[in-house]
Structure 1
Amino acid sequence: MIRVAGLKMLVDEDKSKLRQALLKKLGISGQELLDYKICRRSVDARKAGKIYFVYTIDVKLANEDLVLKKLRNNRDISVAPRLAYEYVKTGQNKLAYRPVIAGTGPAGLFAGLILGRMGYRPLLLERGGDVDSRVTAVKRFWETGELDPECNVQFGEGGAGTFSDGKLTTLIRDSRCRKVLEILVDAGAPEEIVYSAKPHIGTDKLRAVVKNLREQIVELGGEVRFSAKVTDLAVEKGKISGIVINGNEALDADVLVLALGHSARDTFEMLLARGVELTPKAFSIGVRIEHPQELINKAQYKEFAGHKNLAAADYKLAYHAANGRSAYTFCMCPGGVVVAAASEEDCVVTNGMSEYARNAENANSAFLVGVNPGDFPGDHPLAGVEFQRKWEREAFILGGGDYRAPAQLVGDFLADKPSIGLGTVKPSYKRGVRLSELKGCLPDYVVETLREAIPALDKKMRGFARPDAVLTGVETRSSSPVRIIRDENFETRIKGLYPAGEGAGYAGGIVSAAVDGIKVAEAIAQKYAPFS
């Protein structure tokens, strides 16, 4: 096939005109175009008074060689890359037991699905509940403050991403990314995620997708167990020989995938005690910032704000401060809400969530500053975890001790004074907020960096420094605070133990975690024969 890039259409133009624009760009007749499919679509709002959809399209032609030769000097025309996923050749070593996967976030689910499709009949263990029971537990926490430490926004089927925006943007360049998107579409995700420049599923649709992935694994001979936490390992002669579930059930195993998620702090402690090598890792800390979605739409789309062909606008901003640190927005949720995301008692953690329609009144984004092991208390492998806990507990106290979140208006934050009342922007955090001073639950250098960044970012996107915009604290779970060390074969120094995904320190979002899970599944498949 031939790839055609840079095909522009005005936002008002009907999509049915895309075929005609394609024929014109290639200089061919309709009979020569056999088939085409959209590979990528983005929005270009840089030119005043105009907004374009920019397409990259793969086409099948009656005479591709002739067209390629004729347009060989056109940089928008090229041979389409091969996108089909190829399963690896399986190994010869015999498995005494089926592979076990701890965790059903993106890394665990995709490792399980690939292994299932290759005949390994994996067993997936999830410490939290299935999607339905998890929704019930989370709703109860948001409404009453009754936290279930084993089933919450962080733990349960689908991982932390199940209660997020379902954003699928990623910075990694890996051919497996497309396979991840295609699998998600087959499981019920919207078809446009395959070609959208900023794909998202939405937490409402993602829950059904996650269930469908689980059902596929089971149909392939796998098994998924909930409320089943790996609490210990058995190691013999430097190799995994078994696991303990929930402190009382022993299970033989010769392969264990650790797809834990970034909040499995008790499991990190267990692994360290069993001789698994862990090291502290940089991550970020900050707040959630909330504006009216209408403000963001006008800032990004100008007079086209609210156009029927445009989705709720988003943004991505960054600033390098005089103190050498950087502030940036992350996990931006158009038309979304700020959610209570604690997984430990007496801690307040925030995150952002949108449904597919992205039609809530506010937009919110993480507003973060990077921290590194030099900022942590000591050089213990889990020093980053203790750093997170410190500020989460301070936020819990500042919020009133009942899982309300501390909040402050942007204008008051910049003026270094406590907020005593809200403006027109109403916080969406369902547990409720307690107005206070966020400097009480953030390191001084983070406060300094955010204060310097806000006016500077307002110059990039007018309205960012709106005085009654709401800052809600604290966001600490941007990524894992540890990395579980693995070798080039994806194993730890305890053989048969395979760390995977975001919690292990090798990914930073749904797609990259899923890709890492696939890589680990491939490593296992290349070493071992399918399980029978």
Structure 2
Amino acid sequence: MIRISNIKLNPMQNEKSLEKKICKLLNVKPHEIISWEIYRKSIDARRSDSIFVVYAVNVTVKDERKVMKGKKNRDIQVAGRKSYDFECAYSGDKRPVIVGAGPAGLFCALLLCRNGARPLIIERGKKVEDRIKDIDRFWNEGKLDAESNVQFGEGGAGTFSDGKLNTLVKDRGNRGRKVLEEMVKAGAPEEIMYDSKPHVGTDRLRQVVVNIRKEIEEAGGEFFFSEKVTDLEFEDGVVKAVTTDKGRYESEAVVLAVGHSARDTFEMLKDKLELIQKPFSIGVRVEHLQKDIDMSQYGVDREEYNLPAADYKLVHHCDGGRHVYTFCMCPGGVVAGSSSEEGGVVTNGMSYYARDLENANSAVLVGITPDDFGSDDPLAGMYLQRELEEKAFKAGGEDYSAPVQLFGDFKNNVVSRAFGSILPTYKPGTKFVNLREILPEYVADSLIEGIDAFGSKIGCFNSDDAILTGVETRSSSPVRMVRDDNMEGSIKGVFPIGEGAGYAGGIMSSAMDGIKAAEKILEMLQKFK
């Protein structure tokens, strides 16, 4: 196979133009090409007068040796095809128990099923189909179901997000590619296999989750929805069973894929597993008009040039030593009410696949460390999150309306009186407050410095009428469940994985962690057999 990199096309050119370019670069006729596929696609918009779509392609030709003879172009190389390779067929009767049906739990279950194990998956929330109804009721009526919301339920918190599939995790075992392949098989758009910034969108991700569940069930896995784990039983440091509010399940392998918001589960585990404090971030959601972000990033009318809604990723290191950064940027999306506890307001971002709504939003976060928690308690970070969420709830009027403030007023320490050109998208509603009365002083000061710094890169970013919505506290887990090289926690046979365990940060890294855990569990089951 031949890989051609750095092929630049005008955004208005289609894939037929790409095929012509391949023939020209390889000096072959179309009939000499057996097949070709896009390997990577990105946009180079560093100069508005020369925007390109940049491709890397894999090409199979009839006579590779002849085509490559004399080629000295670094962008044309013979390449191998990467694939995930793991097989450990199990035919015994021991059944792992997986707690949580987010990306980590689902992909762990999927791989276990593919290799003969038939896991039991316990999920405190509901199926996606029922979960959607509960979330819509919260957004439209302010009625929160503490067990079925943006944080809890099939698919995890990522199901109601932008559905980003990029990750910074090293992927030597090609687990990331395996995740993308399975998602395409389950209905995700094929371009996630090659887009440099792949996303699914919450609307399409919901169906992907349903299809993965169906395959797991067809392969012998069993789901128990609306069932919450209440205890973890062990003896002599070895796990024995999981107890729920509806039953008891014995197992030699228990996977804890509980997500970063399972606070009651963290409290239950506190005296059983070794838990330690973990750095995380807190801040707000910022909203701008998507057309302003597009113009700043591209310098041209993106629709005229057939370009996608523009995004950004920004970092600033403050003079005081803290860092401020944007997280989970949602082009053409909304700020989503993401509460999971009575009496707390939580924000997150969400986009549909088309990313075609009026506003752009992103979390703007300030990194904090255990030194900021004020306690040595392993759950001190979690309690800090809860404190800020409760303050936001009270400030918003105690009806799950979110506290908001225009950036100019935030800087001037005054309550806003009216919105400017940007209108908020958060549901159930918003209320003007002074966010400085909710956020710690070091967070507020860092946000001002960071947002002003971002304005030097994206002109509209620090505009006076940019909307700040509080609070964003759930970007990652405030707790880490300590595990060894075999991925087992301080109790033998317990496998803490994903975001809740403190080992992942998004859909992709969580799913990859789930696959890795499944490999370890299958090896363990084979030894039992």
Where structure 1 has 5 or more consecutive residues not aligned to the other structure, the ranges are none
In the alignment, does 2:188 pair up with 1:197?
Answer: no
1:120-156 Cα offsets, whole Å, 9 max, x none, are: 0111110000001111111111122221111110000
Deviations 1:367-412 (A, max 9, x none): 1110111111211111110111111111111111111000000111
Q: Distance in 1 between matches of 2:232 and 2:68?
A: 58
- Residue 78 of structure 1 deviates from its aligned partner by 2.5
Q: Is the contact made by 2:48 and 2:298 (CA closer than 8 Å) also made in structure 1?
A: no
User: Matched residue of 1:289: which SS?
Assistant: strand
2:404–2:433 contact (8 Å) kept in structure 1: yes
In the other structure, the counterpart of 1:481 is 478
Q: Does 1:167 align with 2:164?
A: yes
Distance in 1, matches of 2:304 and 2:109, equals 42
In the alignment, residue 61 of structure 2 is paired with which amino acid? L
Letter in 2 for 1:468: D
Q: Residue 406 of structure 1 corresponds to which residue in structure 2? A: 403
Residue identity opposite 1:6 in structure 2: N
Please state how far the C-alpha of 1:88 moved relative to its aligned partner.
3.5
Once the two structures are superposed, the pairs formed by residues 428-443 of structure 1 within 5 Å of their partners are 428-443=425-440
Match of 2:524 in 1: 527
Counterpart contact for 2:12–2:305, Cα < 8 Å: no
Residue 231 of structure 1 is matched in structure 2 by 230
Q: Secondary structure at the match of 1:391?
A: helix
* CA spacing shift, 1:531–1:310, aligned 2, 3 Å: farther
Distance 1:531-1:229 versus aligned 2 partners, 3 A rule:
farther
1:151 corresponds in structure 2 to 148
| Distance of 1:232 and 1:492 partners within structure 2 | 16
Whether the 8 Å contact between 1:120 and 1:531 is mirrored in structure 2 is: no
- Is this contact kept in 2: 1:288–1:475, CA < 8 A? yes
**CA RMSD after TM alignment:** 1.6
> Matched residue pairs, number?
527
**Aligned residue type for 1:215:** K
TM-score normalized by structure 2?
0.97
Give the conservation status (yes or no) of the 8 Å contact 1:395–1:473: yes
- 2:255 aligned partner: 257
The correspondence for 1:456, drawn from 453, 457, 460, is 453
Q: For the residues of structure 2 that align with 1:55 and 1:453, how far apart are their CA atoms?
A: 34
Q: From the superposition, tell whether residues 530 and 130 of structure 1 become closer, same or farther in structure 2 (CA, over 3 Å).
A: farther
Q: SS at 1:70's partner residue?
A: coil
* Equivalent-residue separation in structure 2 for 1:361 and 1:304 (angstroms): 15
Give 1:56's aligned amino acid.
Answer: A
1:214 matched to 2:204: no
**Aligned counterpart for 1:390 among listed residues 376, 381, 387:** 387
| AA partner of residue 390 (structure 2) | R
Per the alignment, residue 418 of structure 1 pairs with 415
Letter in 1 for 2:269: L
Q: 2:285, 2:471 within 8 Å by CA — same for their partners in 1?
A: yes
Q: Secondary structure at the match of 1:224?
A: strand
Question: Structure 1 residues 409, 85: closer, same or farther in 2, change over 3 A?
Answer: same
1:331 aligns with 2:328: yes
Tell me how far apart the structure 1 counterparts of residues 194 and 527 of structure 2 sit (CA, whole Å).
34
Whether the aligned pair in 2 keeps the contact of 1:262 and 1:504 (CA below 8 Å) is yes
C-alpha contact (below 8 Å) 1:164/1:203 kept by paired residues = yes
Q: Is the 8 A contact 2:103 2:511 kept in 1?
A: yes
Q: Does 1:266 align with 2:260?
A: no
Q: Which position in structure 1 is the counterpart of 2:283?
A: 286
Residue 19 of structure 1 corresponds to which residue in structure 2? 19
Q: Which moved more, 1:27-36 or 1:429-438?
A: 27-36
SS of the residue 1:363 aligns to? strand
How far residue 522 of structure 1 moved from its aligned partner, in angstroms, is 0.5
Aligned partner of residue 489 in structure 1, secondary structure: coil
TM-aligned CA deviation for residue 524 of structure 1: 0.7
Whether contact under 8 Å (1:120, 1:530) holds in the other structure is no
Per-residue deviation at 1:308?
5.8
Match for 1:405: what amino acid? Answer: A
Q: Determine the structure 2 residue equivalent to 1:105.
A: 102
Other-structure match for 2:370: 373
Give me the whole-angstrom Cα distance separating, in 2, the residues matched to 1:414 and 1:478.
Answer: 24
The answer on 1:500 being equivalent to 2:497 is yes
Q: Residue 210 of structure 1: SS of its match in structure 2?
A: helix
Distance in 2, matches of 1:272 and 1:406, equals 32
**AA of the residue aligned to 1:60:** T
C-alpha offsets along residues 321-367 of structure 1, whole Å, 9 cap, x if unaligned? 11111111110000100011011111110000011111111010001
* 2:5 maps to amino acid: A
Aligned to 1:243: 242
* Identical aligned residues as a percent: 53
Contact 1:425/1:469, CA 8 A, preserved across alignment: yes
Give 1:63 deviation, angstroms.
Answer: 2.5
Distance in 2 between residues matched to 1:75 and 1:441, nearest whole Å: 55
The answer as to whether partners of 1:377 and 1:386 remain within 8 angstroms in 2 is: no
Q: Supply the distance in 2 between the matched residues of 1:227 and 1:308 (Cα, whole angstroms).
A: 48
| Structure 1 contact 491–497 (Cα < 8 Å) conserved | yes
Aligned mates of 2:222, 2:471 — CA distance in 1: 37
Preserved contact between residue 288 and residue 473 of structure 1 (Cα < 8 Å):
yes
CA distance in 2, matches of 1:82, 1:379: 49
Report the alpha carbon displacement of residue 89 of structure 1 after superposing the two structures with TM: 3.3
Q: Which residue number in structure 2 is paired with residue 30 of structure 1?
A: 30
2: CA distance between counterparts of 1:19 and 1:192?
17
Match of 2:177 in 1: 178
Residues of 2 paired with 1:309 and 1:347: CA distance? 41
Helix, strand or coil at the partner of 1:74? coil
SS at match of 1:473: strand
How far is the alpha carbon of 1:66 from its aligned partner?
3.9
Partner letter of residue 171 of structure 1?
L
Partners of 1:132 and 1:492 lie apart in 2 by 33
Task: Please give the alpha-carbon distance, in whole angstroms, between the structure 2 residues aligned to 1:481 and 1:460.
Answer: 31
Aligned partner of 1:49 in structure 2 is 49
Partner of 2:512: 515
Q: Which whole-Å CA distance do the structure 2 matches of 1:165 and 1:36 have between them?
A: 30
Tell me the secondary structure at the aligned position of residue 304 of structure 1: coil
Question: Which residue number corresponds to residue 84 of structure 2?
Answer: 85
CA deviation after TM superposition for structure 1 residue 90, in Å: 5.1
Please tell me whether the aligned partners of residues 141 and 147 of structure 1 are also in contact (alpha carbons under 8 angstroms): yes
Separation in structure 2 between the aligned mates of residue 171 and residue 252 of structure 1, nearest angstrom? 36
CA distance in 2, matches of 1:152, 1:11: 40
- 8 Å contact 1:118–1:530 — kept in the other structure? no
More displaced, 185-194 or 18-27? 18-27
C-alpha deviation, 1:76, in angstroms? 1.5
